């Protein structure tokens, strides 16, 4: 169990992929005691072939046969001793397994039951399969990302799965947990990636409604339409980004770029943007990425080098703040945010599925551990 602000909170995670495990990892980073319920078949295979499963950090594992009546009873007994349950199956799956919200809340009325899906628990697409790229497509967010005249650009699965999905699930779970502490009653949290991603775009929708945004790619202030909010190639084939929105930052940007006295046209006239972009591009091609980084950082010009994933872990800013830490022989992002009175910590790689089954059952007060292990309802790796 961690030492963070959620110390003392017990979370059951029904094992899945993507946003659900990330949400549970975040709760573990914050100090919650997270027990991952793996499939018994996973324990039978041994550790799943994931070289470095960072999303499993800080968790313990118990392998349960959810199709076994006694296995379902194990989960329900765990629910009686827990504060939160997180699942990411398609709508109706946990109900068919006998561990849906009604069954769990009957055992523990104060439980927060967090559900993570792409399309939501209800609606015409709720029973359809999907992945991040499809979810963000129907929100309008994917349409807005990319350069003018080009196709939409996929923002990995950061925008949908983890920002629109995991983070909204965590916000919902923590909000419901806070309310349950006051009312004594839990509730179901329906977190859908389409809902969260759409909510994330509220700021852009306000611009669109106010006539300050065109519903097309690469022609607006924040989508590379403006030449002072864009990405530029450097002499060595690297790249730097410019985000000099405010006038004072733009002035410093021009000064450090060497164009303060170059007689540039007025940036407030969109007709001048092609010329400005051409002048900026030519200037950045005169030096390498790292040379520009030395010129611009630290400072208020809002220019930064584009780092690779491996480079980011070694960047002086990130090392100074310990943004990345090494655990289990692997470099990985450190917990965030940080707190003034409580500390967070992470372990190394997670145990194999079911590795902690016996210990978890014993700690939860099960008096029939050997019987459950021998009967196949629970598997020990």
Residues 131, 239, 315, 330: which is the catalytic one? 131
> Of 295, 163, 302, 305, nearest to 234 (Cα)?
305
What is the rounded distance in angstroms from the CA atom of residue 187 to the CA atom of residue 83?
A: 11
- DSSP letter for 139, please: T
Given phi > 0 = left and psi -120 to 50 = alpha, else beta, which region is 340?
alpha
What is the predicted pLDDT for the residue at 343? 85
| Cα-to-chain-centroid distance, residue 175 | 18
Helix (H, G, I), strand (E, B) or coil at 62: strand
What predicted TM-score, i.e. pTM, was given to this entire model? 0.94
What is the predicted pLDDT for the residue at 1? 45
What is the predicted pLDDT for the residue at 350? 73
How far lies 227's CA from each of 121, 143, 246, 373, in Å?
Answer: 42, 20, 13, 64
What is the predicted pLDDT for the residue at 249? 98
Active site residue 330: no
What is the predicted pLDDT for the residue at 311? 97
190 contact partners, CB below 8 Å, separation of at least 6: 115, 117, 120, 121, 172
> Of 298, 143, 293, 132, nearest to 214 (Cα)?
143
> Of 195, 196, 171, 173, nearest to 85 (Cα)?
173
> Of 200, 206, 207, 241, nearest to 221 (Cα)?
207
User: Two tokens at 126?
Assistant: 């709720």
What is the predicted pLDDT for the residue at 270? 93
What is the predicted pLDDT for the residue at 304? 98
User: Two tokens at 356?
Assistant: 């902690």
Low-confidence ranges of the chain (pLDDT < 70): 1-2, 43-51, 347-349
The pLDDT > 70 percentage for the chain reads 96
> Of 280, 273, 270, nearest to 239 (Cα)?
280
Longest dimension (CA), the chain: 83
Active site residue 131: yes
28 contact partners, CB below 8 Å, separation of at least 6: 2, 11, 34, 57, 58, 59, 346
> Of 66, 60, 49, nearest to 25 (Cα)?
60
Residues 161, 195, 230, 356: which is the catalytic one? 161
| Cα-to-chain-centroid distance, residue 238 | 27
What is the rounded distance in angstroms from the CA atom of residue 169 to the CA atom of residue 177?
A: 12
Q: Where are the alpha helices (DSSP H) in the chain?
A: 19-29, 40-45, 69-80, 93-97, 101-107, 132-137, 167-183, 193-200, 202-209, 247-257, 273-284, 289-296, 309-314, 316-320, 357-363, 369-375
* 105-129 core/surface letters (b: 16 or more CB in 10 A; e: else): bebbeebbbbbbbbbbeeeebeeee
């Amino acid at each position: 169990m961690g030492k963070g602000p959620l110390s003392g909170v017990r979370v059951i995670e029904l094992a899945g992929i993507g946003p659900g495990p990330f949400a549970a990892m975040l709760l573990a980073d914050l100090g919650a005691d997270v027990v991952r319920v793996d499939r018994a078949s996973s324990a039978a295979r041994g550790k799943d072939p994931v070289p470095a499963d960072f999303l499993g950090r800080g968790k313990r594992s118990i392998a349960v046969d959810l199709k076994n009546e006694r296995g379902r009873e194990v989960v329900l007994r765990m629910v009686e001793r827990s504060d939160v349950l997180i699942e990411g199956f398609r709508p109706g799956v946990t109900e068919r397994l006998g561990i849906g919200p009604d069954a769990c809340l009957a055992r523990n009325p104060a439980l927060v039951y967090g559900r993570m899906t792409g399309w939501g628990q209800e609606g015409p697409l709720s029973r359809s399969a999907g992945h991040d790229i499809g979810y963000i497509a129907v929100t309008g967010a994917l349409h807005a990302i990319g350069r003018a005249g080009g196709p939409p650009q996929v923002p990995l699965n950061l925008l949908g799965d983890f920002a629109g999905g995991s983070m909204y699930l965590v916000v919902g779970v923590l909000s419901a947990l806070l309310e349950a502490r006051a009312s004594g009653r839990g509730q179901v949290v329906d977190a859908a990636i389409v809902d969260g991603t759409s909510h994330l775009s509220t700021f852009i929708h306000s611009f669109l409604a106010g006539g300050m945004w065109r519903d097309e790619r690469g022609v607006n202030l924040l989508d590379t339409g403006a030449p002072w909010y864009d990405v530029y190639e450097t002499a060595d084939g690297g790249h730097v980004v410019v985000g000099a929105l405010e006038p004072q930052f733009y002035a410093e940007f021009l000064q450090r770029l060497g164009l303060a006295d170059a007689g540039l046209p007025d940036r407030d006239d969109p007709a001048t943007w092609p010329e400005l972009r051409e002048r900026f591009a030519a200037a950045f091609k005169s030096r390498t990425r790292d040379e520009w980084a030395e010129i611009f950082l630290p400072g208020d010009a809002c220019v930064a080098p584009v780092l690779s994933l491996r480079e980011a872990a070694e960047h002086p800013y990130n090392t100074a703040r310990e943004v990345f830490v090494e655990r289990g022989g692997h470099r990985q992002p450190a917990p965030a945010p940080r707190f003034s009175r409580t500390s967070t910590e992470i372990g190394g790689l997670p145990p194999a599925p079911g590795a902690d089954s016996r210990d978890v059952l014993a700690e939860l007060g099960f008096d029939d551990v050997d019987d459950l292990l021998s009967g196949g309802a629970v598997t020990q790796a």
